[in-house]
A and B are shown apart, each in its own frame.
Chain A
Amino acid sequence: MGVSVLKPGLATTVQDTGRPGYYNVGIPPSGSLDQYSSLAANMLVGNGDDAAVLECTYMGPELRFDQPATVAVAGADLPPLLNGEPRPTWESFAVGAGDVLSFGFLRSGARAYLAVSGGFDVPVALGSRSTYALGALGGHRGRALAAGDELPIGPAGGAAPRRAVPEALRRNHPKHREIRVMMGLYDHRLTDSARRAFLETEWRLTPVADRTGFRYRGAELEFRDRDAPFGAGSDPSNIVDAPYPIGSIQIPGGVEPIVLHRDAVSGGGYVMVGTVISADMDDVGQSAPNITTRFTEVDLDGALRARHERAARLDALREAVG
């Protein structure tokens, strides 16, 4: 019983709200990169917030259901097909035993979340079902799905299909994004003109964009000269290895800023110049290669306001769907 993986898709992993509390030993929070869409998918099928979903990156999997269930797809515009027939996103629908769920081509966004009533019931590791592939931890055998895998489904609450997220509460995926950041950390190591250039440049996301980090291209930024402190390394973009905030932006060698996401390396020796605010991490997670991005500066109060606005939107979603 459960779901059989016929084709795995490009990088499909089991994720949930994440695994907080172990970053001090290098185990990152993991969890769905777009939490809003992941939570929406769970609400649509009547799950609690902590049920595990499948995060489908760029290309969806092909799955055979060995039991009836209610499912929903939210997030990227990755159109679901049930036995080859189109089904909507942001809306729950029924699948029967023996049905095959597959996906058409990605239209926009980067990651679609597939929720199933009852959740994907893989073993819990350190309090979470999220996959941390680098550490072979959580998810299905600690890795992305492969053909032939079988995923168990938990006991369902019995949600009816055809629940839908109202249009205004669905995410859209523009080709250009404004991502808000709080500058700080080591931004004083950038020259004044490089700091300005960082905020003014229209950056383009490179194909090096995965659960660990998102690498952008667009300008070269200069660091101030300095005498290398003992243990830091000689390049002016080096520091004594330090912790990396989730969402922090490092610029190794002054080229190609990298935004760390929920499978971040927990620390290292590169200068960080700021951090994406918590409210905008979902948007980074839905960024696909080639979209353009401007990093706009906000202060702590601006970041907290944005966080409250995001929470209010989640409340509205819960009101409308949950």
Chain B
Amino acid sequence: MVSVRGRAARHSFGGDDHIYVELDEEMNLSANFKVMAITSTIGDRGIDGVIDICPANASYQVRFDPDAIEPRQLLAELESIEAEVGDGTGFDLRTTVVEVPVLYNDPWTRETLMRFRSHHQNPDGTDLEYAARINGFDSVEGFVAAHSGSPWFTSMVGFVAGLPFLFQMVPRERQLEVPKYLTPRTDTPRQTIGHGGCFGCVYSVRGAGGYQMFGITPAPIYDPTQTHPDFEDFLVFFKPGYIAKFEPIDRDGYDELTAQVEAREFRFKQAPVEFSLGGFLADPDGYNRGLMEALDGS
């Protein structure tokens, strides 16, 4: 069972214009939630000289202009905000639950993974077969059922533009873990559903990558042209704290949604929710059912 952990934060200057804060060495939802609470509070303060506030999995970073604020003064402000926020359990996160349609075992990631077989631990099978086996599933179907059966928390957005790191919202013993490729690929299809270590992801753009590839979504999650309906306000769809639920689709479903995307008509199924860490930790499965009801009621 995940528990609320109390650890001292570790602070470090990243050059003269970044402060880096590690809240925990290991990944857990409590540390991530604390990151969300602290970084939202920093944002709300509107501190002069702060340029970027980057929440991450179990750490965060503030980039600032040292001509506008003395670095040690900013560090003291961050420490006082961290003390105020405490373990973050008093913080309710207003966020969004979203359904991500996935064609598992699709032809595009399969073609790509075959091209990079020499980079893989299991050159004789697919990434899905490997992931199913090392996580103790008898079949790929069983693995896909676990992968799509519980929601995932967006614990960080980044690496490249708009890429969500996703942390499965189940007790640790049920979390899927798969090592990254032995050496990274130079190519990954756009909108690939990936997995490395304990993190899932959706590749927002085509490019290099080291995560295992399980499938693909027809839905864009990054749109620099801002011509798709869900991107009218901003070019990145996922924000830290968004809760994603993968929904398996078949090839016909994929083609139908792709046609909607091309017609600029596709919209994510999504609903606003308020997420409470305490509520989740007390009963993860029950809490997740509530999230799914909110999504289905949308």
Q: Which residues of A in the span 122-175 have a Cβ within 8 Å of any Cβ on B?
A: 125-126, 132, 134-137, 142
Q: B54 at interface (Cβ–Cβ under 8 A)?
A: yes
Q: B254 at interface (Cβ–Cβ under 8 A)?
A: no
Separation of A229 and B55 alpha carbons in the complex (Å): 19
Q: Do A300 and B13 have beta carbons less than 8 Å apart?
A: yes
Contact among A25, A182, A278 for B158, CB-based, below 8 A: A25
Contact among B59, B72, B161, B180 for A240, CB-based, below 8 A: B59
What residues on B are CB-neighbors of A246 within 8 Å?
15, 17-18, 63
Q: Do B159 and A265 have beta carbons less than 8 Å apart?
A: yes
Q: Do A134 and B161 have beta carbons less than 8 Å apart?
A: yes
Contact among A137, A243, A303 for B15, CB-based, below 8 A: A303
On chain B, which size bracket covers the interface? 35 or more
Q: Do A240 and B224 have beta carbons less than 8 Å apart?
A: no
Q: A13 at interface (Cβ–Cβ under 8 A)?
A: no
Q: A193 at interface (Cβ–Cβ under 8 A)?
A: no
Contact among B22, B163, B172, B198 for A26, CB-based, below 8 A: B163
Q: Which residues of A in the span 231-268 have a Cβ within 8 Å of any Cβ on B?
A: 231-234, 239-243, 245-248, 265-268
Q: Do A231 and B197 have beta carbons less than 8 Å apart?
A: yes
From B113-121, B235-243, B274-282, give the one contacting chain A: B235-243
Contact among B60, B72, B207 for A134, CB-based, below 8 A: B207
What residues on A are CB-neighbors of B59 within 8 Å?
240, 242-243
Q: Do B160 and A241 have beta carbons less than 8 Å apart?
A: no
Separation of A300 and B197 alpha carbons in the complex (Å): 35
Closest chain B CB from A26 CB (angstroms) = 4
Q: Do B20 and A267 have beta carbons less than 8 Å apart?
A: no
Q: Do B161 and A135 have beta carbons less than 8 Å apart?
A: yes
Separation of A204 and B207 alpha carbons in the complex (Å): 27
Separation of A32 and B60 alpha carbons in the complex (Å): 26
Q: Do B22 and A242 have beta carbons less than 8 Å apart?
A: yes
Contacts A26-B158, A134-B205 given; indicate if A303 touches B16 (C-beta within 8 A): yes
Closest chain A CB from B164 CB (angstroms) = 9
Q: Do A278 and B16 have beta carbons less than 8 Å apart?
A: yes
Separation of A303 and B204 alpha carbons in the complex (Å): 36
Q: Do B179 and A22 have beta carbons less than 8 Å apart?
A: no
What residues on A are CB-neighbors of B152 within 8 Å?
none
Closest chain B CB from A17 CB (angstroms) = 12
Q: A104 at interface (Cβ–Cβ under 8 A)?
A: no
Interface code A253-292, partner B: CB below 8 Å = 1, 0 otherwise? 0000000000001111100100111110000000000000
Interface code B49-75, partner A: CB below 8 Å = 1, 0 otherwise? 001111111111101001100011000
Separation of A132 and B26 alpha carbons in the complex (Å): 32
Q: Do A266 and B16 have beta carbons less than 8 Å apart?
A: no
Contacts A242-B22, A243-B20, A278-B15 given; indicate if A21 touches B180 (C-beta within 8 A): no
Dominant SS at the A interface?
Answer: mixed
Separation of A171 and B171 alpha carbons in the complex (Å): 57
Contacts A134-B161, A230-B172 given; indicate if A240 touches B58 (C-beta within 8 A): yes
Interface code B214-233, partner A: CB below 8 Å = 1, 0 otherwise? 00000000101000000000
What residues on B are CB-neighbors of A240 within 8 Å?
24-27, 57-59
Contacts A24-B240, A268-B159 given; indicate if A184 touches B56 (C-beta within 8 A): no
Closest chain A CB from B253 CB (angstroms) = 27
Interface code B148-164, partner A: CB below 8 Å = 1, 0 otherwise? 00000000111111110
Contacts A182-B16, A245-B20 given; indicate if A230 touches B52 (C-beta within 8 A): no
Q: Do A242 and B205 have beta carbons less than 8 Å apart?
A: no
Measured CB to CB, the nearest residue on chain B to A299 is: B13
Closest chain B CB from A153 CB (angstroms) = 24
Separation of A261 and B126 alpha carbons in the complex (Å): 35
What residues on B are CB-neighbors of A321 within 8 Å?
none
Separation of A288 and B26 alpha carbons in the complex (Å): 38
What residues on B are CB-neighbors of A276 within 8 Å?
15
Q: A81 at interface (Cβ–Cβ under 8 A)?
A: no
Q: Which residues of A in the span 34-79 have a Cβ within 8 Å of any Cβ on B?
A: none
Q: Do A25 and B224 have beta carbons less than 8 Å apart?
A: no
What residues on A are CB-neighbors of B246 within 8 Å?
none
Contacts A23-B63, A232-B197 given; indicate if A134 touches B16 (C-beta within 8 A): no
Contacts A25-B161, A307-B16 given; indicate if A241 touches B61 (C-beta within 8 A): no
Which residues does B use to contact A, with CB under 8 Å? 12-18, 20, 22, 24-28, 51-61, 63, 66-67, 71-72, 156-163, 165, 172, 179-180, 196-199, 204-205, 207, 222, 224, 235-236, 238-240
Which residues does A use to contact B, with CB under 8 Å? 20-27, 125-126, 132, 134-137, 142, 181-182, 184-185, 229-234, 239-243, 245-248, 265-269, 272, 275-279, 300, 303-304, 307, 311
Listed by A's residue number, 20 A-B pairs whose Cβ atoms lie within 8 Å are: A20-B63, A23-B51, A24-B54, A25-B238, A26-B159, A132-B161, A135-B222, A185-B20, A229-B27, A230-B26, A230-B198, A233-B180, A234-B179, A240-B27, A240-B58, A241-B156, A245-B63, A265-B159, A267-B159, A268-B159
Known: A137-B235, A246-B18. 5 other contacts (CB 8 A): A23-B158, A134-B160, A229-B25, A231-B57, A307-B66
